[in-house]
């Protein structure tokens, strides 16, 4: 056992299920905070909250070893006024609330990880962005990240170590971006997207879970930490590896104008595909963390397999 109690706020989504499965055999209990009730599974139980105000759920934070906050409306939507407002509030409001709840605890969690996003850095095709020299970009998505992290750091939690975990695109079998890309490849649409030169900073879901455990065991680590594999690839390389893994010899490229039309039709934004996210995990590497999936080909082989 590495811990007594882990709490996952927004834990009934994709990353929450990855982390709950990882920690279930390693902890006495895993508690998920969700707006929807769910049946317990072994030592994983769901406690309902509204993510707006304090309630009986606050008790769950007492004596927890780690709280990981995963709350946030999915960004895979059109950025109209209503969605923009929900994207921001679904991140800022639960973060502020959790900060207040921690501050009121008699025995607060030792560690609070707020999963944020590696998209906080600027569009970068020239050099990788690390935690020290990386440049913060501008635009809606970056405003979201800034407000999310501001709310996190503003919370006064002197007895709780805090990490803003700037997450890259998570590759996993069941959910996230990978199943959608794999379907495109299987339909022969797996060529480069846009000019294909934009970088993709990815991370395998198993390494996400291992990194949270590493943070739990390394009290010297706090503040913002990039959660991406050390080898970012270009979009053209990503699509080539996916085609190889799916044994698909051809893949039609999708130029930017076609992506704009497609994004409008399926209700998403091209920024999710066309922004160049070239991010490097300098602090994790410097702390001695060893990635299980360092190379994209190994990660893709694993999730396709």
Ligand X SMILES: NC(=O)c1ccc[n+]([C@@H]2O[C@H](COP(=O)([O-])OP(=O)(O)OC[C@H]3O[C@@H](n4cnc5c(N)ncnc54)[C@H](OP(=O)(O)O)[C@@H]3O)[C@@H](O)[C@H]2O)c1
Contact call for residues 204 and 177 (beta carbons, < 8 A): no
Closer CB to ligand X, 174 or 188, in the complex: 174
Question: Among 209, 212, 234, 210, which residue's Cα sits nearest to residue 225?
Answer: 212
Binding track over 60-79 against ligand X, x by CB under 6 A: ----------xxxxxx----
Contact call for residues 70 and 8 (beta carbons, < 8 A): yes
Closer CB to ligand X, 63 or 302, in the complex: 302
Closer CB to ligand X, 32 or 111, in the complex: 32
Q: Is 117 in the site for ligand X (CB under 6 A)?
A: yes
Q: Which of 142, 170, 189, 245 binds ligand X (CB under 6 A)?
A: 170
162: left (phi over 0), alpha (psi -120 to 50) or beta: beta
Closer CB to ligand X, 258 or 274, in the complex: 274
Residues 173-192 that bind ligand X (CB under 6 A): 176-177
Q: Is 273 in the site for ligand X (CB under 6 A)?
A: no
Closer CB to ligand X, 252 or 266, in the complex: 266
Q: Is 211 in the site for ligand X (CB under 6 A)?
A: no
Residue 137 has φ and ψ, to the nearest 5°, of -85, -160
Residue 222 Cα distances to 162, 192, 216, 217, angstroms: 6, 37, 10, 12
Contact call for residues 125 and 198 (beta carbons, < 8 A): yes
Q: Which of 8, 61, 115, 211 binds ligand X (CB under 6 A)?
A: 115
Q: Is 94 in the site for ligand X (CB under 6 A)?
A: yes
Residue 39, judged by CB atoms within 10 A of its CB (0-12, 13-18, 19+), counts as exposed
DSSP letters, 51-92, are SSS--GGGGGGTT-SEEEE-----S-S---HHHHHHHHHHHH
Binding track over 25-44 against ligand X, x by CB under 6 A: ---------xxx--------
Closer CB to ligand X, 41 or 63, in the complex: 41
> Residues in the site for ligand X, rule: CB under 6 A?
10, 12-16, 34-36, 51, 70-75, 90, 94, 115, 117, 167, 169-170, 176-177
């Amino acid at each position: 056992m590495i811990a007594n109690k882990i709490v996952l706020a927004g834990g009934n989504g994709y990353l929450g299920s990855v982390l709950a499965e990882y920690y279930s055999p390693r902890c006495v209990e895993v508690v998920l905070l969700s707006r929807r009730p769910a049946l317990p599974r072994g030592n994983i139980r769901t406690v309902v909250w509204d993510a707006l105000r304090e309630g009986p759920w606050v008790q769950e934070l007492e004596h927890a070893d780690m709280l990981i906050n995963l709350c946030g409306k999915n960004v895979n939507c059109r950025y109209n006024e209503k969605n923009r407002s929900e994207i921001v509030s679904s991140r800022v409001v639960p973060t502020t609330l959790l900060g207040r709840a921690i501050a009121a605890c008699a025995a607060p969690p030792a560690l609070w990880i707020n999963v944020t996003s590696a998209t906080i850095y600027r569009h970068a095709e020239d050099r990788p962005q690390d935690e020290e020299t990386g440049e913060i970009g501008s635009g809606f998505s970056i405003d979201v990240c800034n407000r999310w992290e501001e709310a996190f750091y503003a919370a006064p939690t002197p007895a709780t170590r805090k990490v803003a975990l700037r997450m890259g695109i998570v590759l996993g079998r069941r959910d996230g971006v990978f199943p959608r890309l794999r379907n495109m490849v299987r339909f022969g649409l797996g060529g480069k997207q846009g000019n294909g030169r934009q970088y993709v900073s990815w991370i395998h879901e198993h390494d996400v879970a291992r990194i949270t455990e590493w943070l739990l065991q390394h009290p010297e680590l706090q503040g913002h930490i990039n959660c991406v594999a050390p080898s970012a690839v270009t979009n053209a390389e990503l699509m080539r590896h996916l085609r190889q893994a799916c044994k698909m010899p051809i893949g039609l490229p999708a130029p930017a104008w076609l992506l704009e039309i497609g994004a409008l039709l399926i209700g998403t934004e091209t920024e999710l595909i066309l922004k160049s996210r070239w991010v490097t995990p300098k602090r994790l590497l410097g702390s001695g963390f060893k990635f299980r999936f360092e190379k994209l080909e190994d990660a893709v082989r694993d999730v396709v397999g």
